[in-house]
Amino acid sequence: MVVLGIESSCDETAAAVVRDGREILSSIISSQIDLHQPFGGVVPELASREHLNKIEPVVKEALRQAKITLPEINAVAVTQGPGLIGSLLVGVCYAKALAFGLGKPLIGVNHIEGHVYSVAFENPPVQYPALALIVSGGHTNLFFVPEEGKYKLVARTRDDAAGEAFDKVAKMLSLGYPGGPAVERLALGGDPQKIKFTLPKISDGRPDFSFSGLKTAVSRYVRENGIEPLRENENPSQLIKDLCAGFQATVVSSLVGTMEKLALEFHPKTLIVAGGVACNQALRQAAEKTSAKLGVSVYFPSKHLSTDNAAMIAAAGTFHLKRGEIAEKTMTADITMRLQNFELEEDKLRKAKVRYRL
Ligand code: KG4
Ligand code: ZN
């Protein structure tokens, strides 16, 4: 079964051809990093215009590299949401038209579920139940996955996503965009014990994440210690390196600490750590330590598959295709899509006003 995957939810235009949900025949990613760099973050209007320019050549290149012609594909899978509406619409409209023209099934994929499937290629098959930590620029969610395709959200961020916190700290210090890799690079030369930050506890006792207070604490530290943002070609001071190391260690300890705590409760057979922040070596090492301690395997995607890509969308799409979950012709982009279809969170709790204790 050969599926063409298309991803355009944020600032990467991507297409991939995947066989049987596990073998990548091609995976093309056209990144818009250079386009958004001067603004220090993604500009939605620019992103959708660039997707329009890139979608056709990216899909063609994916088919060319896979040596597959359009009539040979069995289905088209596309990211339906969540993401930026203008960006999503480009991929969804393109995929819909392609599938309709070819008379092939179309599958709408939840982007977050796509990240879960990013570990499907270079690891042994996932053993269920699993616990999946999806950490990216837009999301920080921990799912209990009792069986393939079932998700219970057991922890989520109440404010900023982990990647967003990395990006904002990098912006404060003028380290460049995206911030994650820049902060990680400087943290390598810093001492994580020098500058310590505390994490807030959430007053309703849920094991959720919160990174906005940490970002404010870093900003306060920068101000109170007279740290100047880096100028072009300036070497970062030891203080900035220590600050990056302290911040990174706090984020990692929150993510992995919560995963460990919930693993003790849910007894998973596999841990999954995916999403852009899963590129972070400190996070990988901490998750590996936890996995060894618990005697449970941990799977990561390779770096190419950690950030947004279409191979993961094709893999998730293959699963739904096998179950006959084909999109209607009326399907459209949906920025509000959630990934939760098992023991739904109580509405009351979801809407509860949150108080933090620092
Ligand atoms: O999954 P992704 O490509 O896009 C979203 O769906 O958001 O993730 C991008 C995020 C950015 O916030 C970026 O700063 C972060 O992943 N990131 C990292 C690293 N590489 C990328 N964060 C920490 N350490 C890294 N090495
Ligand atoms: Zn993503």
Cα(316) to centroid of ligand 2, in Å? 14
Cα(14) to centroid of ligand 2, in Å? 12
Cα(127) to centroid of ligand 1, in Å? 26
| Backbone torsion region of residue 324, taken as left when φ is above 0, otherwise alpha when ψ lies between -120 and 50, otherwise beta | left
Please state, for a pLDDT cut of 90, what percent of the chain lies above it: 81
Is the pLDDT score of 116 beyond 50?
yes
Cα(138) to centroid of ligand 2, in Å? 7
Closest to 95 (Cα-Cα) out of 329, 282, 287, 296: 329
Q: Which of 102-116, 129-143, 190-204, 311-325 has the lowest mean pLDDT?
A: 190-204
Rounded mean pLDDT of 11-36? Answer: 94
Residue 351: predicted pLDDT? 57
Pocket of ligand 1 contains residue 251 by CB under 6 Å = no
Residue 340: predicted pLDDT? 79
Residue 38: predicted pLDDT? 84
Pocket of ligand 1 contains residue 140 by CB under 6 Å = no
What is the tens place of the pLDDT at every residue in 148-204? Answer: 999 999 999 999 999 999 999 999 999 988 899 999 999 999 999 999 998 877 777
Q: Is-cis flag, bond preceding 82, omega within 30?
A: yes
Q: What is the mean pLDDT of the chain?
A: 93
More confident residue, 311 or 351: 311
Which residue out of 11, 177, 279 has the highest number of ligand 1 atoms within 8 Å of its CB and is therefore the one to mutate? 279
Beta bridge partners of 76: 4, 106
Q: Please state the atom number of ligand 1 nearest to the C-alpha of residue 279.
A: 26
Q: Which ligand is nearest to the CA of 276?
A: 1
Rounded mean pLDDT of 214-221? Answer: 95
Interatomic CA distance for residues 312 and 116, integer angstroms: 8
Cα(111) to centroid of ligand 2, in Å? 6
Is the pLDDT score of 354 beyond 70?
no
Rounded mean pLDDT of 207-224? Answer: 94
pTM of the model: 0.93
Give φ, ψ of 77 to 5 degrees.
Answer: -115, 135
120-327-325 Cα angle (round to 5):
55
Is the pLDDT score of 333 beyond 70?
yes
Residue 356: predicted pLDDT? 44
| Beta-sheet strands, E only, within 96-151 | 106-110, 130-135, 140-145
Is the pLDDT score of 120 beyond 70?
yes
| CA torsion angle 342 113 307 313 (round to 10) | 180
Question: Going by CA atoms, what residue is nearest to atom 13 of ligand 1?
Answer: 180
User: Residue 237 in contact with residue 185, Cβ under 8 Å?
Assistant: no
Q: Please state the atom number of ligand 1 nearest to the C-alpha of residue 179.
A: 14
Cα(102) to centroid of ligand 2, in Å? 28
Residue 179: predicted pLDDT? 92
Beta bridge partners of 151: none
Helix, strand or coil for residue 216?
Answer: helix
Please give the structure tokens belonging to residue 342.
């098992």
Please state, for a pLDDT cut of 70, what percent of the chain lies above it: 96
More confident residue, 103 or 40: 103
Please give the structure tokens belonging to residue 284.
């990988």
Cα(161) to centroid of ligand 1, in Å? 10
Which residue out of 166, 169, 177, 339 has the highest number of ligand 1 atoms within 8 Å of its CB and is therefore the one to mutate? 166
Rounded mean pLDDT of 326-332? Answer: 93
User: Residue 12 in contact with residue 309, Cβ under 8 Å?
Assistant: yes
| CA torsion angle 300 303 304 310 (round to 10) | 40
Question: Going by CA atoms, what residue is nearest to atom 3 of ligand 1?
Answer: 307
What is the tens place of the pLDDT at every residue in 259-315? Answer: 999 999 999 999 999 999 999 999 999 999 999 999 999 999 999 999 999 999 999
Is the pLDDT score of 352 beyond 70?
no
Interatomic CA distance for residues 174 and 168, integer angstroms: 10
Q: Which ligand is nearest to the CA of 139?
A: 1
